[in-house]
């Protein structure tokens, strides 16, 4: 089958290089071109990518052999690029969160409505981790009972890495660079997906930055989410991890129901995971506490197996004219929760989340 021609838009982001190794294991895609307005940086980086270079992404969109674009622009520039790509007939992967604010995410939803044949999605790829399949199956089978509390943690290294990786805009609140907007949306989306429940209110606190580099974003954010059924979730995200922390990630997920718990500490950068499920369900048998080993495919590149699976599923959605795993509305819903978090930090009160 002919691979989908892929165009990359934007290089002042960490992920273009980090994703690069993934394409070697994704024959569904053929990287062909890259666009970056910073021409000197484009020339320098393209020594690595070796793709057809364009200083203006409009020229890339004019190519008939480009089927899909992946957008890694500053968040504030993403909605306009999504609209331009869709108008040119290109399917769109836009890096999460997809915009710098809810208004920008609404623009992406509006673009999707204007172009219903174009697939537009964002790589909330924790959904496609092999552990997630087992976890969601356990929840749907009732092994935990109704979920009452959840916890998610994602500390992802210090803010200096955005200067190192040529993305200084990530240190600006106006660009949506804060940890809750940039990282917290992962767990916001995940909790909504796992429970199939809407988040209706958010209370938040954030830790102001200390030390270099200069930035106006928080170092750490903590949020209490309340769901429509009364369940709650705690999220902690930040850029406060010491450089020597193992794997340079601190990640944790827990789900506590009326008759069981599930706990997972993802093996970032590895292929060996363990899911702990404790259940008092009548079908649990004698083995009510199980430590389940889960092995992912050891695929090089950012996110490994789960990113590879998400990208494979997106290619299938394009080929089969089916719905991608993550919709533009999912992106908007996650952004609404993150934006309510920041409102709560300003007001000191719980803030209501728009759910329709």
- pLDDT exceeds cutoff 90 at 321: yes
Do 262 and 283 belong together in one domain? yes
Summarize pLDDT for 147-194 with one digit per residue, the tens: 999 999 999 988 999 999 999 999 999 999 999 999 999 999 999 999
Do 139 and 234 belong together in one domain? yes
Helices (H) and strands (E) in the chain, counts: 11, 15
End-to-end CA distance of the chain: 40
Do 121 and 133 belong together in one domain? no
Percent pLDDT > 70 in the chain is 100
Give 34's strand partners.
8, 53
Do 67 and 121 belong together in one domain? yes
Do 137 and 269 belong together in one domain? yes
Do 132 and 121 belong together in one domain? no
The backbone torsions φ and ψ at residue 231, rounded to the nearest 5 degrees and listed phi first, read -65, 155
- pLDDT exceeds cutoff 80 at 32: yes
CA–CA dist 288, 271 (Å, integer): 26
Do 156 and 49 belong together in one domain? no
Nearest Cα to 324, choosing from 91, 100, 90, 137? 91
CA–CA dist 86, 108 (Å, integer): 10
- Whichever domain contains 234, its CATH number is 3.30.360.10
Are 78 and 98 a contacting pair, CB within 8 Å?
A: yes
pLDDT of residue 253: 98
How confident is the model over 240-266, as a mean pLDDT? Answer: 94
Are 149 and 245 a contacting pair, CB within 8 Å?
A: no
CA–CA dist 123, 301 (Å, integer): 14
Do 342 and 317 belong together in one domain? no
pLDDT of residue 197: 97
How confident is the model over 98-120, as a mean pLDDT? Answer: 98
Do 37 and 62 belong together in one domain? yes
Peptide bond into 97 cis (omega under 30): yes
Tell how strand 91-94 and strand 120-121 pair up.
parallel
- pLDDT exceeds cutoff 90 at 240: no
| Side-chain half-sphere exposure of 134, counting CA atoms within 13 A | 18
CA–CA dist 9, 15 (Å, integer): 11
- Whichever domain contains 9, its CATH number is 3.40.50.720
Domain that includes residue 119, residue range: 4-125+307-326
Give 232's strand partners.
149, 226
- pLDDT exceeds cutoff 80 at 23: yes
Are 340 and 332 a contacting pair, CB within 8 Å?
A: no
Q: What is the pTM of this model?
A: 0.97
- pLDDT exceeds cutoff 80 at 269: no
pLDDT of residue 277: 97
**Which 8-state DSSP code applies to residue 266?**
-
Do 121 and 131 belong together in one domain? no
Do 34 and 148 belong together in one domain? no
CA–CA dist 142, 140 (Å, integer): 5
> Rounded mean pLDDT of the chain?
96
Q: Residue 231 in 3-state DSSP?
A: coil
Domain count across the chain: 2
Do 114 and 159 belong together in one domain? no
- pLDDT exceeds cutoff 90 at 268: no
pLDDT of residue 133: 95
Split at pLDDT 50, 70, 90, the class of 324 is very high
């Amino acid at each position: 089958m002919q691979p989908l021609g892929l165009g990359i838009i934007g290089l002042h982001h960490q992920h273009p290089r980090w994703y690069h190794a993934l394409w070697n294991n994704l024959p569904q895609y053929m990287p062909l071109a890259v666009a970056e307005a910073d021409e000197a940086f484009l020339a320098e980086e393209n020594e690595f990518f070796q793709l057809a270079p364009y200083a203006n992404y409009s020229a890339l969109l004019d190519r008939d052999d480009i089927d899909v674009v992946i957008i890694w622009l500053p968040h504030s520039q993403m909605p306009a690029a999504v609209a331009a790509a869709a108008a040119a007939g290109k399917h769109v992967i836009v890096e999460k969160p997809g915009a710098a604010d809810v208004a920008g995410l609404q623009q992406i939803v509006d673009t999707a409505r204007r172009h219903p044949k174009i697939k537009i999605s964002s790589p909330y790829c924790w959904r496609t981790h092999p552990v997630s399949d087992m976890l969601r199956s356990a929840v749907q089978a009732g092994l935990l009972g109704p979920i009452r509390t959840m916890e998610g943690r994602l500390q992802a290294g210090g803010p200096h890495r955005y200067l190192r990786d040529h993305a200084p805009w990530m240190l600006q609140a106006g660009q949506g660079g804060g940890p809750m907007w940039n990282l917290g949306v992962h767990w916001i989306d995940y909790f909504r997906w796992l429970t199939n429940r809407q988040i209706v209110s958010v209370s938040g606190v954030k830790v102001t930055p200390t030390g270099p580099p200069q930035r106006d974003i928080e170092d750490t954010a903590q949020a209490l989410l309340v769901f429509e059924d009364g369940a709650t979730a705690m999220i902690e995200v930040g850029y406060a991890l010491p450089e020597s922390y193992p794997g340079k990630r601190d990640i944790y997920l827990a789900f506590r129901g009326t008759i069981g718990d599930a706990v997972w500490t993802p093996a970032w950068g590895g292929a060996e995971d363990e899911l702990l499920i404790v259940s008092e369900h009548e079908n649990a048998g004698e083995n009510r506490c199980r430590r389940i080993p889960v092995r992912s495919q050891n695929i090089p590149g950012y996110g490994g197996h789960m990113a590879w699976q998400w990208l494979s599923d997106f290619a299938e959605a394009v080929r089969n004219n089916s719905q991608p795993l993550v919709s533009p509305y999912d992106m908007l819903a996650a952004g609404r929760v993150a934006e309510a978090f920041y409102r709560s930090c300003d007001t000191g009160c719980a803030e209501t989340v728009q759910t329709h």
